[in-house]
Structure 1
Amino acid sequence: MIRMLLRVLGHEYAQPMRRTVALMTTTAVLEGLSYALLVPVLQALFGSTPGDAWPWLITFGAAVAVYAALRYRSDLSGSESRCCAACTTVSAIIWPDCPSAGTPQAVSGRCPSWPATASCRRWA
Structure 2
Amino acid sequence: MLIYDSLVTYREFYCHYAQKLLEELNEVVLIVPFYETLGSVREMLSIGHRAIDVEEQENLKNLFIHDSVDEYFGNEIVMDSRKKILNEAIENGKEGFSVVADMGSFFFQRSCQKVVRV
TM-score (norm 2): 0.27
Quick check: which one's strand share is greater?
Answer: 2
Structure with the larger RCO, 1 or 2 (CA within 8 Å, 6+ apart) = 2
Of structures 1 and 2, the larger Rg is shown by 1
